[in-house]
Amino acid sequence: SSNLIIKAELTSDPNENKNLYKLLNDTLNLVTSILDSFKGHLRQFIVDDKGVILIATFGLRGSTSPNMATERVLPASRIVHYALQNELGINNFVGVTLGKVYCGIVGGIKRHEYAVLGPSVNLSARLLGMANHPGILVDDTVRQEATSWGNFLPFPPMKAKGYADLVPVYQPLTAREARWGKVNPHFVGRRDEMNNLCNLAKNMAMAKGPAQIFFVWGESGSGKSDFLVQTVALTRKALISIRKAVVVLRHIGSDGDSLVPFSTFRSIFRDLLAEPTIGDNSSIPSKFSKNDSASVRDRDWESMSLSSISTLNTSKIASNERLNEICTELQAPRGFIQIVGYHLLGHGMKNTISNSKEKTPVLDEIVDFMAKVFIHCTSHANLTVVALDDMHHTDNMSWRVIQKIFETGENILFVCGSRPTTSRKLNIDDDFWKSLNGIHKKSMRFHELHIGPLDQSEITEMAAIALSCKKRDVDVQFTKDIFDHTRGMPHFAAQALKICKKKSLCERLSNNKIGWRKGTGEFKMLFSTLDELLLQRIDDLDDFTRKVLHLASVLGHTFKMSDIIGISEQVLSIADNDKMEHTLKIGISLDNAVEEGIIEESVRDTVNVSKVMTRRLSRVSIPSLTVSRRASKTSLPSLSDLYREEKNDDSLGASKQSYQFCHDTWRQKILSLLLDSYKQDIHRHAASAIESEISDLEEVNYRTKMKLFRHLKESGNKSKSTELALNVGKNFMYLGLNLHSIRVFEDALDVWHKDKNSDNDDTVAGFSCQVIESLDESDLISLIKLQTALGQALGTLDRKKESAQAFEDALEVFSEAPVSAEIRNRSVLFPIYSGLFFLLKYGGMIEPGQELAYEHNLVTNFVEETRLNGDPVHYSRSLAMQGEFYSRQGQYEDAIFCHERLKRTYNVDQHSALVIENYATDRSAQNFGITANCLYRLGRVEEALDIADTVLSDMLPKMDPKNVHNSMIMMYPLLWILKNEKMAEKAVTAMEEFVFEPFRQHFGNKGKTPLLPLYKPIKALFTIAMYLEGQVEVIDESMISWALEPASPISVSKNFDTAMANFGRCGSSIGAEICLHLSKYTKSEDTRKELMAKGWKLCQTAMETANKCGSHQTTYFETKPIYDEYVSLNNKSDEE
């Protein structure tokens, strides 16, 4: 049944009556269209003294179906409810019941009607009149039959005609609504703050405008989360009341989210893409006027899914197919779809991350695309509200998406809740955070609210609600005690009031006020702290319920009933024939914890196990079940007969139910009561349960991998946690998620550090000597690989000293571990040598004066280790390193000798891919360019050009086109040889074929690669060189303005200059030469002076870098002529 709040009265005004007729007609068309698409039937549409009443039926002969309550009745009810609200602006209440009814003719021969009669019909009408009606209410029969619906929020039971007992009443909630939290009709305080946020949302919905962020700060227990729940609900209701289409998306952060890339948007995207029911997270934008009945009739409800009604542009398809649809529409490459969709969002099929034919995913593109999809899917709404709680758990990539949406989106309001930054730092980009608190706060796009304690008057109001009395009836001393002991913190106060009522600590006093019962003076001090109050509440539970909560607290803030069942069977050693009974006990214990307000159901995928089992117990005439919460042991009847009856019944899949702790303080308190060894045991079983479901680790998405990693780590399993950390961390590095990879590697290393007893213990590279001495060969290799991977990840973020320390720690661990003497294959050390050698080229790692000796010793050890190992992949790499070292010292003959040895070892067809696999780029192939440079410096020009031809014609075509960094390093020393020999066109052709075009193809315009800052300067310089050689007639004038731009890439950092100088020429010298040639080309004297001034500054920087590298190096030879010409021109200018 549905009751519409319409003033359905005829007046003396014909126009008003005409509008009423149209509204009623629109209502009839809208409701019948929706019912028809769900195979429902409208039995009655009547206007009487009680208002406008509609009665619909499902399940008439010919229109029944399995799972009718879940798949038809509830979805149709929600769509009708929200469509009437949003399309026609009609407030309405819906009551849904299920039962057997009489269906047929009622009345006499001349006057009769088709009717449905029965208790369930009467009950649905009674549901419409419930106080505090939320919009849709259902009876217990619907709840029991809607086995795969989200959740059901209990309402006060009601007395109804035809029912002997009180009838249970529920509000149906989808999984998303249940995850977010429930609206509290007795919420106290914060009214002004809620109204301010609500008014902000209404103002934003009235006109187009940029996105905004509203941040709510609050300590644990301050009521921050409840405030968000209440405010979002109030905002949505206010927007609907003014006929504005609103999309509401919600997410609550949890432990471990900060390690999972895009964790926040994983759930938000799944909500957007996966068939949300109308009104759950969205409402229909009004596409027609209130009086346009034709538009209602013309709407193709049959072809529109729940999702399409929510967004007006989707069809009823799986969410991963919807993602593919959108990606196609927005022109995203397929490889991108698979990697982002599966590994980051959990959609679609697993993608092989190393497929060289697919486009490499670039972080900026991922962020841009996710923001674009978000805006695309919510563009129909007048306002999109994104409510995000516990943002201190949000990962930095989710923050980047938020930033992009904030910068590019319109009519989007982020409502964020978090602990203060003084206690929990946000993983947000520093520059974005500064801009929010600076320019965006001034422009009223960033708002903040600090939630503090309630005042004593508000605590009195809470007490009145808890004690079921009026505010004036509460004793002042009672509320003062509660206020003083709880410091006005809402959560603390609510717990104190709950225990006061439960233990009957209050009574009516002689002054007719409700206050402390006599003899409770000592108890008033029992909850002087929140910990003491929570501990008392936990102690009041029975032993088995406490054990269940112990398991739950270890599993996390949110947990599944199936996990509790599986792990408890292992931890408590439950026999096979006792498992059914054990499952029932867990269901009852979880119900107890829910009733106590410790946990709440977040997702109910199927019916409650304890309720199912209790019904079946009664059906097979087993004596009633009684569980005492204070009893130490639960007595249960045998369930073997029941098990045989139900062993194939899918309803026992109710163990898929999910729960969450009502507040994190509950979880933290329960965790603090457990022994570390017991927690480790639980984590071990949890990890085993996840592993048992995994057949191929590469097919598992990152969220599941990180969940497994957490359990392995906390169980103390060093080997497996290290192995998994390497798998995840290296994939993160491939995707450019280096910060995430560093955190994963550091978390894995913490497992090895935990065995350190105190800061005074003897250590090796920060590890306990006992740990190092106990390592076996496998563990030592794993630990070395982990430290090496950390060093590589740190190096990619320019954290060179930390990177070097990680590499040196790895070497120290290997040298001090006794088992290292037994290891014959020492190839695990080779990436360390390579990494340290790479860092040395940037300088600053070793004290001045010691670098040469350190580097020589490093290179010598590497060559000897690889020679003994005998693997040509590693040996050729070490020879390349040695050749580069000699080249930078000006020992060109020695460098050439190393190259001759390398040529006898290295084969590009056999070894290139393996070198790249171990060292990221083909360092062995790069030695050819370095050797060509050595030959060129010795005057052996023809030999140098022969090597250049070999590299360009034979080697580069065999390289992975995606690895443009490798291609550029191979070519870089050759560019200057070709330029000096008047072969600029040949160099340009090679760069376009092997670097520029592959980069555009695989990375796009917004892609990144280490040498990207040099792309435009090199292209510009060689274009000028071709002009000077007569191969280009003119130079584009825009090149001059580009060179003079303050942010022009011809200016590079000193560290980048130093690094590139080792390969033949620093970046500043390129910029200096560009300015020099352009100053001769321009006809404007002022422009010439500007170019000379900028070029001279760059040239001085380049010469400083060249002198630092040594006058024997190529960068000096290439820079000195440019420097001399600048000096000459400046002197000439001074003379004039």
Give the tens place of pLDDT for each residue, 969-1009: 999 999 999 999 999 999 999 999 999 999 888 777 667 78
pLDDT at position 1103 over 80: yes
What residues have CB less than 8 Å from 211, skipping those under 6 apart? 405, 406, 407, 409, 410, 411, 412, 413, 414, 445
How far apart, in whole angstroms, are the C-alpha atoms of residue 915 and residue 862? 15
Look at residues 596, 588, 579, 641 and name the one whose alpha carbon lies nearest to residue 616.
Answer: 641
Question: Do strands 446-450 and 212-217 pair parallel, antiparallel, or not at all (unpaired)?
Answer: parallel
List of E strands, 521-580: 558-560
Residue 871 or 653, more confident = 871
Question: 682-685 — which CB contacts under 8 Å span 24+ positions?
Answer: 682/550, 682/551, 682/554, 682/555, 682/567, 682/571, 683/554, 683/710, 683/711, 683/712, 683/714, 683/715, 684/711, 684/715, 684/717, 685/566, 685/567, 685/570, 685/571
pLDDT at position 1 over 80: no
pLDDT bracket for residue 271 (50, 70, 90) = confident
CB 339 within 8 A of CB 333: no
How far apart, in whole angstroms, are the C-alpha atoms of residue 776 and residue 817? 9
CB 502 within 8 A of CB 536: no
C-alpha distances in angstroms, 599 versus 152, 275, 545, 1108?
A: 15, 28, 12, 65
If you average pLDDT over residues 680-694, what whole number do you get? 89
- Helix H, strand E, coil C: the string for 162-186 is CCCCCEEEEEEECHHHHHHCCCCCC
> Rg of the chain over CA atoms, in angstroms?
36
Predicted local distance difference test score (pLDDT) of residue 1002 = 79
pLDDT at position 355 over 80: no
If you average pLDDT over residues 427-437, what whole number do you get? 91
Sign of CA dihedral 979, 985, 991, 996: positive
Question: How large a percentage of the chain has pLDDT more than 90?
Answer: 31
pLDDT at position 1064 over 60: yes
Element (DSSP H or E) covering residue 389: strand 383-389
How far apart, in whole angstroms, are the C-alpha atoms of residue 79 and residue 1005? 44
Mean pLDDT for the chain? 81
- Residue bearing tokens 């670097």: 995
DSSP assignment, residue 954?
Answer: I
List of E strands, 185-245: 212-217
Tokens coding 465: 């609600």
| Helices (H), ranges, 5-162 | 14-37, 68, 74-88, 119-128, 140-145
pLDDT bracket for residue 879 (50, 70, 90) = very high
558-567, 568-577, 759-768, 951-960: segment of lowest average pLDDT: 759-768
Tokens coding 1054: 């000193």
CB 607 within 8 A of CB 654: yes
Predicted local distance difference test score (pLDDT) of residue 905 = 94
Residue 49 or 693, more confident = 693
Predicted local distance difference test score (pLDDT) of residue 261 = 83
Residue 519 or 197, more confident = 197
Predicted local distance difference test score (pLDDT) of residue 510 = 85
- Maximum CA extent, the chain: 123
Task: Give the bridge partners for 246, in sequence order.
Answer: 383
Residue 1022 or 154, more confident = 1022
For the whole prediction, is pTM greater than 0.75? Answer: no
What residues have CB less than 8 Å from 968, skipping those under 6 apart? 995, 1009, 1011, 1014
Look at residues 95, 433, 75 and name the one whose alpha carbon lies nearest to residue 279.
Answer: 75
Tokens coding 581: 């009974």
At residue 625, φ and ψ (nearest 5 deg) are: -100, 130
How far apart, in whole angstroms, are the C-alpha atoms of residue 1024 and residue 1073? 10
Predicted local distance difference test score (pLDDT) of residue 60 = 84
Residue 267 or 677, more confident = 677
Q: How many CB atoms lie within 10 A of CB 1127?
A: 12
How far apart, in whole angstroms, are the C-alpha atoms of residue 753 and residue 770? 11
pLDDT at position 903 over 90: yes
pLDDT at position 338 over 80: no
Predicted local distance difference test score (pLDDT) of residue 611 = 44
Predicted local distance difference test score (pLDDT) of residue 363 = 73
How far apart, in whole angstroms, are the C-alpha atoms of residue 189 and residue 187? 7
If you average pLDDT over residues 698-719, what whole number do you get? 87
Residue 487 or 212, more confident = 212
Predicted local distance difference test score (pLDDT) of residue 1015 = 92
Structure confidence by residue, pLDDT tens digits, 711-759: 999 999 999 999 999 999 988 887 778 888 999 999 999 989 876 555 5
pLDDT at position 845 over 80: no
Residue 162 or 224, more confident = 224
What residues have CB less than 8 Å from 479, skipping those under 6 apart? 456, 459, 460, 463
Q: How many CB atoms lie within 10 A of CB 425?
A: 9
pLDDT at position 142 over 70: yes
Question: Do strands 558-560 and 658-661 pair parallel, antiparallel, or not at all (unpaired)?
Answer: antiparallel
